[in-house]
Amino acid sequence: MCGIVGIARLGERPLPDAFVLRRMMSTIQYRGPDDSGEFLSDDVQLGVVRLSIQDPKNGAQPVFSCSGESVAVYNGEVYNAHALRQRLLRDGHRIGSQCDSELLPHLYEEHGIEMVNELRGMFAFSIWDNREKRLFFARDRMGIKPLYYARMNDFLLFASEVKAIIASGMIDPEIDLDSLDDLFSMSYPCPPRTMFKEILEIPPAHILNVRTQTREVAKVRYWESPTPPAGSHSRISRAEAAEELRSLLRLRVYDHTMADSPVAAYLSGGLDSSAICGLMKEVYGDPPETFTVSFESAAYDEYPNALEVVEFLDSPNHVLHCGARMAEDLERMVWHTELPLQFPLALPMIALAGLAKTNGYPVVLSGDGADELMGGYDCFRGDKMRRMLDRPGLRFLRPLVYRQLYKWLQMPEGAVDGIIENQLSARQIQQNYGGIIPPWYDVWTTVGVDRQRLLGFSGRLIRDVREAPVGFSDLLPSDIGRMHPLDAGIALEQRTRLPAWILLIGDRASMAEGVEARVPFLDQDVVEFMASMPPSFKMQGLQEKAILRQCTSSLMPKSTNIRQKRPFFTPIREWFFSESEPEFVRDELSPERLRATGLFDPGLVAAYRREIRVVPERSLMRNRLEWTLFLILQTQIMQRLFVEARCLKSPLPPMAI
């Protein structure tokens, strides 16, 4: 796993001194602490920092084709590398290492840009074709590995992380106000936007083709999850599907554990991570070494659930104990995520990766992705309930059913009222969002307290949450109207929240400590298999991930297999906004600092800070105030680190290139 950067010349101006490229590399050195390399020419500059997982002694980058005319920098892991290497060797290519990175320029010489269809894995890479004067980028199908770019008049910059582009000094960083609007509704910028103007992500399953002499930049989707129209799913029986999924997952877990370094696993005690750990034991006979988070507060602690799995598998387990002292690392978290988070999830995840690395494990397997394949979140159950109660003769029951259901689920007081209100305007919402009600829409309407006043105090017009974000329609599959509603919601989830939030956090938290996190559930074969399955296999009644529960029942305790999904939450008020709040919170949210930043209404922020001290704990307003204040706090930190300091003052200790 690595970090890559580069600069391409699109005009007459010469490329900057190589020091600029090295400064970009230095900014993300933690992604590749083991080695670094660069390629310099009059047309492009490519740089890479390397985390050595496969063939540590012989895997230096950049890598070249036999002719020397194609050169690549690469971040990722290709799980069918062995088969590809054997084929290339038979065709006469000279390949000197066991690293998957070396295959890329050879595959490019064989297949051109169609080479991306040969790869199965997680990846983000760039190849410079000196003959064609073409710079070619590709990102994996699900967006597991990140890649960003910024186009200017005379140059194109790219990097694994936004901070490297900003650190070049060749772009004036500025918060994207459309993205800020999205943050206080969706909780992340609507892709492909980032939190910064003019810096975009290369979307998952896309290639970017740059002709440096003509300045032509073309973006093309190369893969799409093959979701069938409603009623056209596989005719396989449930028992056959469970057996096939178990076999497929076993193979993919085996692939994902191939490394020249030890491999461990994250274990939360939930269904998904427990399934991965159980499959690892089934494949190898011995249980994996596991790493688990525990919180001081029982309200957030899942360790008792994880302990059941640890004892069932007889797994060596390491526990990270999390408390309020973690709040002091918030600046570091924002530096790595480059995105304010609705919850401080990345704080324990960064520390957990550090614990794995300290114990000799630079590679871990994660259960991320299963929820996004099978509709595993409460919002998917809520959407099914909405459709059930929208039938003639049942609509009058909606308030009663929702109030009883959410009382049983112990939802915070006030949550049901907003959901019922959204139900009444469902058709208008569906029309505004291109024919679909996004699965997380109910949450989007609760994130920002008094959002219009908070963000629009300077007179700026703020997008109403009922209106789709800028660019949202471009994310919808062209055939979404033909899909079953559950499949449509899953397809949207895979193009939005999964890469823009879930996978972003997973990548940044692990790479912050130089750890490679692998996600077997998001292997191409598993994704395509689950896309073909009938919706009832994914959600049976209101039981989510039904087929996964069936096929992994023998791999974990029964209590784990049948337990309802519990979201991974972390404390906010207790860590950041209590009477003993950290000093940096007072500094960042002071009226003077807020006025200097100019993004939020200082009077409203002060009112929120007073109210959060007295609002009842089990209320929706408590949650909304926590989310709103926490997003404001992180945005203030991000403004200071990325815009004002231009990523030249890292909160991390320096690492030499």
Confidence at 95, pLDDT banded by 50, 70, 90: confident
Question: Taking 90 as the threshold, does the pLDDT of residue 212 lie above it?
Answer: yes
What are the φ and ψ backbone dihedral angles of 154, each rounded to 5 degrees? Answer: -110, -5
Per the CB < 8 A criterion, the answer to whether 8 and 43 are in contact is yes
Share of the chain above pLDDT 90, in %: 82
CA distance 574 to 586: 15
Q: Residue 33 burial by CB count (10 A; 0-12/13-18/19+): exposed, middle or buried?
A: middle
Compute the average pLDDT of residues 205-220.
96
- The reported pLDDT for the residue numbered 56 is 66
CA distance 444 to 583: 30
CA distance 71 to 39: 8
- The reported pLDDT for the residue numbered 31 is 96
Question: 3-state DSSP call for residue 627?
Answer: helix
Question: Taking 70 as the threshold, does the pLDDT of residue 654 lie above it?
Answer: no
Compute the average pLDDT of residues 424-443.
91
Neighbours of 11 (CB within 10 A): 11
CA distance 202 to 158: 10
Question: Taking 50 as the threshold, does the pLDDT of residue 656 lie above it?
Answer: no
The tens digit of pLDDT for each residue in 279-288 reads: 999 999 999 9
Compute the average pLDDT of residues 453-461.
89
CA distance 456 to 593: 18
Share of the chain above pLDDT 70, in %: 97
- Give me the residue label for tokens 């906004």: 577
Confidence at 413, pLDDT banded by 50, 70, 90: low
The tens digit of pLDDT for each residue in 292-308 reads: 999 998 889 999 999 99
Q: Is the torsion defined by CA of 44, 48, 53, 58 positive or negative?
A: positive
CA distance 615 to 623: 10
Question: Taking 70 as the threshold, does the pLDDT of residue 653 lie above it?
Answer: no
Mean pLDDT of the chain: 93
Which of 32-36, 468-472, 647-651 ranks highest by mean pLDDT?
468-472
Confidence at 657, pLDDT banded by 50, 70, 90: very low
- The reported pLDDT for the residue numbered 373 is 98
Compute the average pLDDT of residues 4-21.
97
DSSP assigned state of 208: E
Token couple for 60: 């230096």
CA distance 260 to 56: 8
Give the residue from 500, 487, 450, 444 showing the smallest Cα distance to 468. 444
- The reported pLDDT for the residue numbered 407 is 65
Helix axes 398-408, 415-424, angle to 10 degrees: 150
The tens digit of pLDDT for each residue in 500-549 reads: 999 999 999 999 999 999 999 999 999 999 999 999 999 999 899 999 99
Specify the amino acid at residue 6.
Answer: G
Give the residue from 268, 195, 224, 232 showing the smallest Cα distance to 494. 224
Question: Taking 90 as the threshold, does the pLDDT of residue 243 lie above it?
Answer: yes
What are the φ and ψ backbone dihedral angles of 420, each rounded to 5 degrees? Answer: -65, -40
Least confident of 29-38, 120-129, 321-330, 393-402: 393-402
Q: Residue 296 burial by CB count (10 A; 0-12/13-18/19+): exposed, middle or buried?
A: middle
Q: Pairing between strand 200-201 and 155-159?
A: unpaired
Compute the average pLDDT of residues 622-642.
97
- Give me the residue label for tokens 């209320």: 619
Question: Taking 80 as the threshold, does the pLDDT of residue 406 lie above it?
Answer: no
Question: Taking 60 as the threshold, does the pLDDT of residue 186 lie above it?
Answer: yes
Sequence-distant contacts of 145-149: CB under 8 A, at least 24 apart: 145/75, 145/76, 145/507, 146/201, 146/504, 146/507, 147/4, 147/75, 147/201, 147/202, 148/194, 148/199, 148/200, 148/201, 148/202, 149/199, 149/200, 149/202, 149/208
Q: What is the DSSP code string of 514-574?
A: T-EEE-GGGSHHHHHHHHHS-HHHHEETTEETHHHHHHTGGGS-HHHHHSPP------SHH
State the Rg of the chain over Cα: 24
- The reported pLDDT for the residue numbered 137 is 98
- Give me the residue label for tokens 């507060």: 297
Across the beta sheet with 63-64, the strand order is: 63-64, 70-78, 121-129, 134-139, 206-211, 216-221
- The reported pLDDT for the residue numbered 560 is 96
Compute the average pLDDT of residues 487-499.
98
Q: What is the DSSP code string of 451-484?
A: HHHHHHTTS-----TTSPPTTGGGGS-TTGGGS-
Q: Alpha helices, DSSP H only, in 329-450?
A: 330-337, 346-358, 370-374, 378-389, 398-408, 415-424, 426-432, 441-444
Helix axes 378-389, 485-495, angle to 10 degrees: 150
- Give me the residue label for tokens 């403004």: 639
- The reported pLDDT for the residue numbered 655 is 43
